[in-house]
Amino acid sequence: MINWLQNEKGEGHFKSSFFRNDENTDEFIIYADSDNTDFKECAEKCAEAFNHLSDTVINEICNGLIGCAEENGEFELPSLGNPAEILNYCWFVALYVDMESIDGEIAYAVEGEGEWGENIGFFINNNRVVYVGTDYLSYMKHSY
């Protein structure tokens, strides 16, 4: 459930069931296009989907994050026991809703940062990972 802070701007907060933010809590900001009459319903669908990502999708995100960390020449990634351990070295703070209507595919971008000093994120469409890296917002079709 989203706690709407600014209805006219489509900004709220919700709790993540898996990912953590930069303060190591489960509170995330969510942004939705308030010009869209269905923005609250679209945002709820995205938050719900985000909180129910499959282990396979989370693993794919984590492997993508490992790739981002490894590409950075200044950050030495410690040996990881499993891909999810990369989440000890990065955090996420915001979810951007990318849905045109309540009947559209569930699509959103998630924004964060890695200890290697880069803004990073990922884009999900229809419960599939489309992209993991620094250009996550460029995948949005309905930016606002």
What distances in angstroms separate CA 23 from CA 19, 27, 28, 106, 117, one per listed residue? Answer: 12, 9, 10, 27, 16
Q: Give residue 93's pLDDT.
A: 96
What is the structure's pLDDT at 90? Answer: 95
The beta-carbon contacts of 63-67 under 8 Å, at least 24 apart in sequence, are 64/122, 64/129, 64/131, 64/132, 64/133, 65/90, 65/114, 65/120, 65/132, 67/132, 67/133
Contacts of 3-6 spanning 24+ positions with Cβ under 8 A: 4/40
Binning pLDDT at 50, 70 and 90, where does residue 144 land? low
What total of structural domains would you count in the chain?
1
Structural domain including 37 reads: 3-139
Whether residue 22 is contained in a domain is answered as: yes
18-52 pLDDT, tens per residue?
A: 999 888 889 999 999 988 889 999 999 999 999 99
Phi, psi of 73 (to 5 degrees): -75, -15
CA distance 59 to 109: 17
Domain-located, residue 144: no
The answer to whether residue 83 sits within a structural domain is yes
- Classify residue 59: in a domain, yes or no: yes
pLDDT at 7: 64
Reported as a single tens digit per residue, the pLDDT across 77-130 is 899 999 999 999 999 999 999 998 889 999 999 999 999 989 999 999 999 999
